[in-house]
Amino acid sequence: MLSRVANTLYWMIRFVERADNLARLIDVNQQLLLDSERLDSERLRTFWQPIILSTGDEETFSSLYDQAGSAEVIHFLTDDPRNPNSITSCIALARENARTVRDQLPDELWEELNALYLFSRSAEARRLIAVDPPRYYENIRRSAVTFLGIAASTTSRDEQWDFMELGRHLERADKTTRFLDVASYLPDGADNAQSAALHWSAILRSCGALGAFRAFERTITARGVVDFLVFSKIFPRSVRYCIERVDVSLHRISGTPRGSFQNDAEREAGRLLSDLHFGVTDDAFAMGLHGYLDALQSRFNRIGEAVFESYVLMPERFQVCPPDEFRSSSALAAWQQQQQQQ
């Protein structure tokens, strides 16, 4: 497979997954806002700021808005074209990636993604955002899930599928940690039992995990939710499960047996998977939940950078560039973003 095609498929699926997760996060927190207002109206002033902080877009947001109110945050994360990580921007980027490899995609897959793109830019979408937000986010989630289902049922299990699976699960693991990280930014007044239960329930609903969690443990606690969403071996949105699938995809692409490594991507994924296999929830809380989740996100980024170096960058790119140009993560990330925009 051409490295350009592999990179395009990898990012196409990541952007769809990102839009799906953002729709989940906003919708659940809008519903939680109603309960929070009944509990403590003072909390409303600081309700949305943690959402922006957890997504890592606080610098972009602060440069565009003066305050983190409901209307500003929802617009920023939903349909603000100035935000490259908004739902509509992610859908547009996914479609653009798909368009460049249109001849290699099943017709049904392209049609579903194109329909999602047209809906996100339609007058009907703007109307729903204004008068019926839950229905808008439900449409985004259903279309994203349909897209992933079509991909699963129409794509041959070859390198094309492996790169799509790699992007999907790496993005999903990252978003699960960011959902959990919202707890790190809650105000001090949000630690009473009733408020905490609502908050951790919202995190589970954001991940579609409330029913699965209750089948596993009836009482919703911070420790129980973190254990389930980070270390579960069987829940498909847990960090451990996603990194397991990342490791499988990487070894299918390279053809090396699992337990060994041929490149830095496999080495980084294998080390992270080992830590998750032998880690426990106490480690996360002993380190501090925010610090632990932040460290996981950094390791996800290193895996993504290693994938990019191993399968996308051409040898001649290294030969014509100064030796230090790609030595830092920030320079590599900037170059990768430039390539994506092109």
What is the tens place of the pLDDT at every residue in 203-231? 999 899 999 999 988 789 999 999 999 99
Cross-strand partners of 260:
258
Cα atoms found within 13 Å of the Cα of residue 324, Cβ hemisphere only: 0
Cα atoms found within 13 Å of the Cα of residue 28, Cβ hemisphere only: 23
**pLDDT above 80 (res 164):** yes
**pLDDT above 80 (res 109):** yes
Q: How far is CA 301 from CA 73, 235, 305, in A?
A: 25, 22, 6
At 39 the pLDDT is: 44
Lowest mean pLDDT segment, chosen from 72-81, 137-146, 297-306, 331-340: 331-340
At 46 the pLDDT is: 65
Q: Are 250 and 269 in contact (CB under 8 A)?
A: yes
How many angstroms separate the CA atoms of 215 and 84, rounded? 37
How many angstroms separate the CA atoms of 224 and 280, rounded? 11
Sign of CA dihedral 211, 51, 306, 84: positive
Instruction: Output 328 or 299, whichever has higher pLDDT.
Output: 299
Q: Are 52 and 58 in contact (CB under 8 A)?
A: yes
How many angstroms separate the CA atoms of 233 and 240, rounded? 6
How many angstroms separate the CA atoms of 53 and 24, rounded? 17
At 322 the pLDDT is: 42
Which tokens in the block code for residue 137? 């986010």
Cα-to-chain-centroid distance, residue 98 = 19
At 52 the pLDDT is: 87
pLDDT in tens, 268-323: 999 999 999 999 999 999 999 999 999 999 999 999 999 999 998 754 444 434 44
Cross-strand partners of 258:
260
Neighbours of 207 (CB within 10 A): 25
CA 18-21-23 angle, 5° bins: 110
Cα atoms found within 13 Å of the Cα of residue 140, Cβ hemisphere only: 35
**pLDDT above 60 (res 155):** yes
**pLDDT above 80 (res 244):** yes
pLDDT in tens, 48-72: 778 888 888 889 999 999 887 788 8
User: What is residue 236's three-state secondary structure?
Assistant: coil
Q: Are 203 and 24 in contact (CB under 8 A)?
A: no
Sign of CA dihedral 50, 85, 26, 65: positive
**pLDDT above 60 (res 190):** no
Mean pLDDT of 160-166: 96
All structural domains of the chain with their residue ranges: 1-154, 156-311
Q: How far is CA 245 from CA 35, 132, 239, 242, in A?
A: 36, 36, 10, 5
The pTM of the full predicted model, rounded to 2 decimals, is 0.87
